[in-house]
A and B are shown apart, each in its own frame.
Chain A
């Protein structure tokens, strides 16, 4: 629960896009917290009790199969928020929502958030617009998982993760990446090693650093560009 010295709420692009008066509605109820990898914000079916605005970390939306296998259906970074739909009234989560990359998050209770949304048109516009964006993203990811090959999705994911956290150093393990992409751990390691050999990333156990974004984009599917366009610049109050 420590306040980050050099990061502020405005490092989350949704919060930054809000007019000052709308932001003021949260007051001290908007808290900065540090959250570690693996913390579950809500399980599928849970009542959404908080809204999480990533500042430097990243949240994954995960759907678990009956045998425990996990597929990632969306990721949320500083361009977005998890649980925003609770601003429209009590909502349950459709997916397991968990901290994927640790970092700073601005968090407000769903009750406070709903109250603020009920009196602020810009905030309500933001919520509605963001729900639309997530809907578009879910369709893109569904298409991507069906259409694109593992190496393309790996590169897309790395670019997205770097954008989400605002940092080209991505703390993650082969297990995590393999689960997210639905490939075997060894396959992910070997793809990552090949990207390293080509000078595109640096790969050490537990960490990937992007060295050459342009070339990484060349190996990624077009979904990276599409998703980036869709989530760009939320239009507030228009």
Chain B
């Protein structure tokens, strides 16, 4: 039996090694990058950026992230949300728009 099993396992492994790697998430698109920097008296830069279709998509992403930060943060960023701002920039560092989290809390960001 060992002879068979070894042959089988080698075959499977070479398949694993060469062809069947699975993309767990999507990378590499042609969409522009947007950066969503946070600030109050501190700065929390978005070093990774996110590729999105256009400015409208960046706008809805920004609001969604802001709401997610406010609802998903426990003891980390939640000192006083009204003092936080988000500045959305393109890959050249030019600010496209910015808003304060207090606008979002009053529904202006929706």
Question: Which residues in A have some Cβ–Cβ distance to B below 8 Å?
Answer: 1, 29, 31, 33, 35-40, 49-50, 62, 70, 98, 100, 107, 109, 111-112, 148-152, 173-176, 178-179, 183-187, 189-191, 193-195, 197, 203-205, 218-219, 221
Contact = CB atoms under 8 A, between A and B. Distances in A.
B76 A195 contact: yes
Given A38-B24, A111-B5, A194-B77, A205 B48 contact: yes
Interface residues of B, number: 39
Given A29-B2, A179-B25, A152 B74 contact: yes
Contact of B46 (A31, A112, A189): A189
B50 A186 contact: yes
Interface of B: 1-2, 5-6, 8-9, 12-13, 16-17, 20-27, 36, 38, 42, 44-48, 50, 61, 64-65, 68-69, 71-77
Given A109-B9, A183-B68, A186-B65, 17 more contacts: A1-B13, A38-B24, A39-B16, A70-B24, A98-B22, A111-B1, A149-B72, A150-B72, A150-B73, A175-B26, A176-B24, A186-B36, A187-B72, A191-B77, A193-B44, A194-B77, A197-B44
Given A189-B47, A219-B74, A175 B27 contact: yes
Contacts of A39: 16, 20-22
B75 A219 contact: yes
Contacts, number: 115
A8 to B, nearest CB: 20
A181 to B, nearest CB: 9
A193 B9 contact: no
Contact of A98 (B2, B8, B24, B45): B24
B48 A174 contact: yes
B48 A49 contact: no
A50 B6 CA distance: 12
A60 to B, nearest CB: 8
